[in-house]
Amino acid sequence: MRKRFIAVGVVLLMVGLASSLQAGGVINKQNLSADYIRTLNRNAATDMADAAVYNPAGTAMMQDGLYMKADVIYLMKDYSNQLPSAIGPLSLTGGTLDSDEPSIIPGLFAVYKQDRWSVFFDVTIPGGGGQVNYNDGNARTTMLSLPGAFGGLGTYLGGPTGNPNNIDQSIEADSYYVGYSLGGAFKIFDSLSLGGGVRYVDAYQKFKGKAQGAINTVDVKIERTDEAFNYFLGLDYAPIKDLNIGLTYMSNTPLNFKAETKDTSPTQAISRSVGWEDGTHEREDLPGYVGVGVSYFIIPGTLRIEPNLTYYLEKQAKMEGSRFQDSMPGNSYDMGVALEYILNPQWKFSVGYMHTEIKGMDSVDLLPEAPELDADTIGLGVVWSPVERLSITASALKVWYQSVKTDANSSRAPADTEYDKDVWGVALGIQYRFF
């Protein structure tokens, strides 16, 4: 029998659905294009239209023409909470509770380059981008369905014997931050270009959950939305023919989410307890970042290497959620390197490695629904150009996350709950240069 339950505090799930699905910091996500999936390192890119988001100043270094690029990323996700055998004197039969809901992430990029200048537009998913569906509940719902004597709602839902083992539980949610960027770049010298622009972020977080015990049932639905502008600046420097350096600064995006809530728990205890009553606001910025990449042809025209660093400015962001106040996240980073082999004008092959380090989050403040874990990622792919102006990218990745056990009881999970994630991904991209 599938568990269906939500109780006090579970709505905090929505705060963290913007956490990394594959790469990024506590909230940010950088897997925005198919060419990123094949290299994992694009901060010095000047070869494809997704340079508009990874290296905006580098668009002025591209070949003249109008580029249109459409990408889609498919991520197969298995997120799990492995519960301990007991909470104090209460035995648990929940075992491993998981969500295996996939994610589909689109990306659109357009660049017009002429002489010494360029303009560009892109639509990406810089945060969120994921759905979770825990059909049998998770660590948080386990804690919150404890008997009343333990501080949960188990007794309200199931009577004197109500507890996590006999209350049906489920939670599901999804979150997307859609970013629309518009900008331009200008080549000051043959070796130096500057760029910048503005980005509009339309963010939403949706949640619904249901609890059913022998006596009572609770339904909760929450939608949090906001939109905001931020800006970005870039520099691209190519001191010699085979060397290119890209630098990008993305400013903080000040999001102040408004909650629209329907809560059938007694006196709306669930939403009231976490401060997410209908009409309330909570600030949760999408942090800015600094990205730097160095591209160098080891063998001119044939073999290229590109190390990257993306440093997330989480300490400069405002995040009012209680778990952020307790853990004080920042500053997380991605660091990696890519190798690309150009066989001929029609074919190029690449492989990339990246390490993601999450900073400042204590185990008790990680999200059971989408835990923020350190990771190592391998990506590979191929670009096929059957004609000069058409490029087709096919790529894949595998992420190895470092599992974490909670070191104390909290409202989110029992002590010794093990969080883990398993992610595979494939991507397809098509680019055409019109002239």
Q: Does 61 have pLDDT greater than 60? A: yes
pLDDT above 60 for 220: yes
Residue 336 domain-assigned (yes or no) = yes
Instruction: Indicate whether 218 belongs to any domain.
Output: yes
Q: Which domain holds residue 318?
A: 10-433
Domain membership flag for residue 47: yes
343 belongs to a structural domain: yes
Distance between CA atoms of residues 59 and 293, nearest Å: 14
In this structure, what is the dihedral angle of CA atoms 3, 7, 9, 14, given to the nearest 10 degrees?
50
How far lies 146's CA from each of 82, 170, 217, 266, in Å? 17, 15, 15, 16
Lowest mean pLDDT among 107-121, 158-172, 262-276, 321-335: 262-276
Q: Is 3 within the bounds of a domain?
A: no
Q: Output the CA–CA distances (angstroms, integers) from residue 328 to 28, 307, 411, in the order listed.
A: 16, 29, 18
Alpha helices in 259-397 (DSSP H): 269-274, 322-327
Structure tokens at 255: 């999001």
Taking only the tens place, the pLDDT of each residue in 129-176 is: 688 999 999 998 898 889 989 888 899 999 999 999 999 999 888 888
Is residue 425 assigned to a domain?
yes
For residues 50 and 36, what is the distance between their CA atoms, to the nearest angstrom? 9
Mean pLDDT of the chain: 91
Q: Determine the pLDDT at residue 141.
A: 87
Query: Looking at the domain assignment, is residue 2 inside a domain?
Result: no
Bigger pLDDT: 259 vs 276: 259
pLDDT above 70 (res 21): no
Q: Whole-angstrom Cα distance, residue 245 to residue 44?
A: 6
Distance CA 9, CA 1 (A): 24
Structure confidence at residue 379 (pLDDT): 98
Number of domain units in the chain: 1
Going by pLDDT thresholds of 50, 70 and 90, the confidence category of residue 11 is very low
5 domain residue, yes or no: no
**Which CATH number is 407's domain given?**
2.40.160.60
Which among 43, 178, 8 has a CA at the least distance from the CA of 108?
A: 178
The alpha helices in 289-367, defined as continuous H runs, are: 322-327
Q: What is the pLDDT of residue 239?
A: 97
| Residue 294, phi-psi category: left (phi > 0), alpha (psi -120 to 50), beta (remainder) | beta
Q: How confident is the model at residue 187 (pLDDT cuts 50, 70, 90)?
A: very high
Start-to-end Cα distance in the chain: 60
Q: What is the pLDDT of residue 16?
A: 36
For position 254, what pLDDT does the model report?
98
Closest CA to 283 of 327, 328, 320, 322: 320
Amino acid (1-letter code) at residue 345: P
Average pLDDT over residues 340-360: 97
